Amino acid sequence: MGANLGDRQGALRAALAAMDRLPGTRVQRVSALYASAPVDAGGPDYLNAVAELATTLPPLPLLQALQALELDAGRERPYRNAPRTLDLDILWFGDESIGTPELTVPHPRIMERAFVLRPLSDLAPHRVTAAALEAVALQAIRMLEGSGWADRQSGLDAPEK
């Protein structure tokens, strides 16, 4: 998940709360919050995080629900890699491989982007190798806050300790 226009952190928190309200869907965990420059695009820095969802929705209906959340957040698609108020992607869907015109899972550019790999490694270190992190080491990215950023004002309950 990412945003580089408007209230970026607010948009990500609102998206987490909205995803948690999708039918049969719960946000399980959220990575730390990262800032990074746009890749292959212009505009302000992005805020990025990765959320782990548990859902009974099939992959395509989940994608459609996420795209509806993007639209609700004011997402426009005037051109490829345009700045955006909200970007929600499906990185993995369990162990499924999906290759349709609408959806490719695993996401085809995971291994090319530090803004995906760093937060993903917070939640699923077994999916991110040291070699993958080294391959994107020159892409500037910095952690802004630990995973607790998502608990404030998102509507998600903080996990019990």
Catalytic, out of 8, 13, 75, 118: 75
* DSSP string for 84-119: -S-B------TT--EE-SS-EES-TTGGG-HHHHHH
Q: Catalytic: 87?
A: yes
Neighbours of 46 (CB within 10 A): 23
Asked about 122 being catalytic, the answer comes back as no
Compute and round to an integer the Cα radius of gyration of the chain: 15
Q: Is 21 a catalytic residue?
A: no
Which entry of 8, 13, 87, 118 is annotated as an active-site residue? Answer: 87
Residue 89 annotated among the catalytic residues of the structure: yes
Which member of 20, 45, 89, 151 is catalytic?
89
The total number of residues shown for the chain amounts to 161
Catalytic entry in 84, 113, 118, 122: 84
SS (H, E, C) 121-152: HHHCHHHCCHHHHHHCCCCCEEEEECHHHHCC
**What is the set of active-site residues?**
75, 84, 87, 89
